[in-house]
């Protein structure tokens, strides 16, 4: 057991380029340092792809080692490598054209077609990604005006995730902020409000007291004639009060 462990460490040191590479991958994923295989290729993000059909069962025999070990996201796996990584096919990107040509031989047309393409993939527009992230819904700010340092999104940059038409998060359907007035309009502005509730929140205690209606108690008592609120309501509806 000890001999096998020493041999694994020696092989891992050689495969990882020394102690630094061994500890670095041990920090990111405990399985990586001692998982060795055949290097199959690399994508634009620096992710490295390996395969080992001898020591690992199907489903674990292919893996990716991230180019950015600190901020890796699964959506950074390039689409051209996704099919190979999940064992959908055995063609790496450099052999993809040959793989498609081989599959096209199995296609049996059911009807004549004037389409300019001889396979079901059809026309493909160039695909652009942000920071090697192929799922754009991940490209969003972590808070208002702070951006996202994990994916490299600058502050106040627009989010890339899709929003439905009519959504309050869709820029085309965001309601423009309009103000009804300003409490400091006579002084050049400074406390704008968009509704009465907002206005009330901005007002100071002195301003709220000054805006309250002035009640003349003497006038109220003389005009009501000593009637209660219920009696006043009866008279207001055209009723009569017995004994009065």
Mean of pLDDT values over 98-109: 80
What's the pLDDT band for 226 if we cut at 50, 70, 90?
Answer: low
- Which structural domain, as residue segments, surrounds residue 41? 2-94
Residue-level pLDDT at 128:
60
The answer to whether residue 109 is domain-embedded is: no
Q: Which DSSP state fits 188?
A: T
Residue that the structure tokens 């190979």 belong to: 84
d(CA 10, CA 59): 26
Tell whether 85 is covered by a domain.
yes
- pLDDT averaged over the chain? 78
List pLDDT tens digits, range 107-121: 777 777 787 777 666
Confidence (pLDDT) at 52: 87
pLDDT-derived band at 10, boundaries 50, 70, 90: confident
Mean pLDDT across 127-140? 74
Calpha distance 38→87 (Å, rounded)? 16
Q: Using an 8 Å Cβ cutoff, are 172 and 165 in contact?
A: yes
What b/e string do you get for 206-222 counting C-beta neighbours within 10 Å, with b at 16 or more? Answer: eeeeeeeeeeeeeeeee
Helices marked H in 65-185: 79-85, 96-104
Total domains, the chain: 2
Q: Residue 172, Cα to own-chain centre: how many angstroms?
A: 18
Domain assignment present for residue 119? The answer is no
> Is pTM beyond 0.85 here?
no
pLDDT in tens, 15-49: 666 666 666 666 666 556 667 778 889 988 888 89
- For 244, half-sphere exposure in the C-beta direction (CA atoms, 13 angstrom radius) is 12
Domain-embedded: residue 99: no
72: in domain: yes
Q: How far is CA 169 from the centre of its chain?
A: 12
Statement: residue 94 has pLDDT above 60: yes
Average pLDDT in the 86-94 region?
Answer: 87
pLDDT number for residue 49: 92
Question: Is 59 part of any domain?
Answer: yes
In the listed set 67, 94, 121, which residue is the last one of a domain according to the structure? Answer: 94
The last residue of a domain, from among 48, 76, 94: 94
Give a yes or no: residue 185 inside a domain.
yes
Chosen domain end from 64, 94, 124: 94
User: pLDDT, tens digit, for every residue of 144-192?
Assistant: 888 888 777 888 888 877 788 888 888 888 888 888 889 888 888 889 9
Assess if residue 36 is contained within a domain. yes
196-224 per-position pLDDT tens digit:
898 899 988 888 888 887 766 655 555 55
């Amino acid at each position: 057991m000890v001999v096998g462990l020493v041999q694994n460490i020696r092989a891992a040191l050689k495969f990882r380029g020394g102690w630094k590479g061994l500890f670095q991958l041990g920090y990111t994923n405990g399985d990586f340092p001692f998982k060795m295989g055949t290097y199959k290729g690399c994508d634009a993000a620096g992710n490295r792809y390996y395969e080992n059909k001898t020591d690992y069962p199907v489903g674990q025999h292919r893996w990716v080692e991230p180019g950015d070990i600190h901020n890796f996201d699964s959506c950074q796996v390039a689409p051209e490598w996704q099919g190979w990584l999940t064992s959908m096919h055995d063609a790496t990107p450099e052999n993809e054209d040959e793989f498609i040509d081989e599959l096209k031989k199995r296609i049996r047309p059911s009807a004549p077609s004037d389409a300019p393409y001889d396979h079901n993939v059809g026309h493909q527009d160039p695909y652009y990604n942000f920071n090697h992230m192929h799922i754009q819904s991940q490209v969003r700010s972590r808070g208002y005006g702070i951006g996202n340092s994990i994916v490299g999104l600058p502050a106040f940059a627009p989010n890339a995730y899709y929003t439905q038409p009519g959504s309050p998060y869709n820029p085309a359907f965001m309601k423009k902020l309009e103000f009804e007035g300003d409490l400091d309009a006579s002084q050049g502005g400074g406390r704008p409000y968009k509704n009465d509730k907002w206005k009330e929140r901005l007002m100071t205690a002195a301003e709220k007291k000054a805006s309250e209606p002035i009640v003349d108690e003497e006038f109220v008592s003389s005009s009501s004639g000593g009637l209660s609120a219920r009696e006043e309501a009866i008279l207001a509806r055209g009723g009569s009060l017995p004994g009065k």
